[in-house]
Amino acid sequence: MQNPNITILKTEILSDNWYTLKKVTYAIAKKDGATETQSREAYDRGNGAVILLYNKISGTVILTRQFRLPTFINGNDTGMLIEACAGLLDNDNPEECIKRETEEETGYKISKVEKVFEAYMSPGSVTEILHFFIAEYSSEMKITNGGGLEEEGENIEVLELSFNEALAMIDSGEIMDAKTIMLLQYLRIKSIV
**Cα–Cα distance for residue pair 48/92, rounded to 1 Å:** 10
End-to-end CA distance of the chain: 39
| Structural domains in the chain, sorted by start | 6-44 (no CATH), 48-189 (3.90.79.10)
Each residue's pLDDT tens digit, 94-135: 999 999 999 999 999 999 999 999 999 999 999 999 999 999
Q: Which amino acid is at 47?
A: N
Task: Return mean pLDDT, the chain.
Answer: 94
Each residue's pLDDT tens digit, 42-58: 999 999 999 999 999 99
Each residue's pLDDT tens digit, 55-101: 999 999 999 999 999 999 999 999 999 999 999 998 889 999 999 99
Each residue's pLDDT tens digit, 169-179: 999 999 999 99
Whether the per-residue pLDDT at 1 is higher than 90: the answer is no
Which of 105, 98, 66, 71 is closest to 82 using CA atoms? 66
pLDDT at 38: 96
Q: Please work out, in degrees rounded to the nearest 5, the angle formed at the alpha carbon of residue 81 by the alpha carbons of 128 and 50.
A: 40
**Full 3-state SS string of 109-147:** CCCCCEEEEEEECCCCCECCEEEEEEEECCHHHECCCCC
pLDDT at 151: 67
DSSP states of 136-192 as a string? E--GGGB-S-----GGGT---EEEEEEHHHHHHHHHHTS---HHHHHHHHHHHHTT-
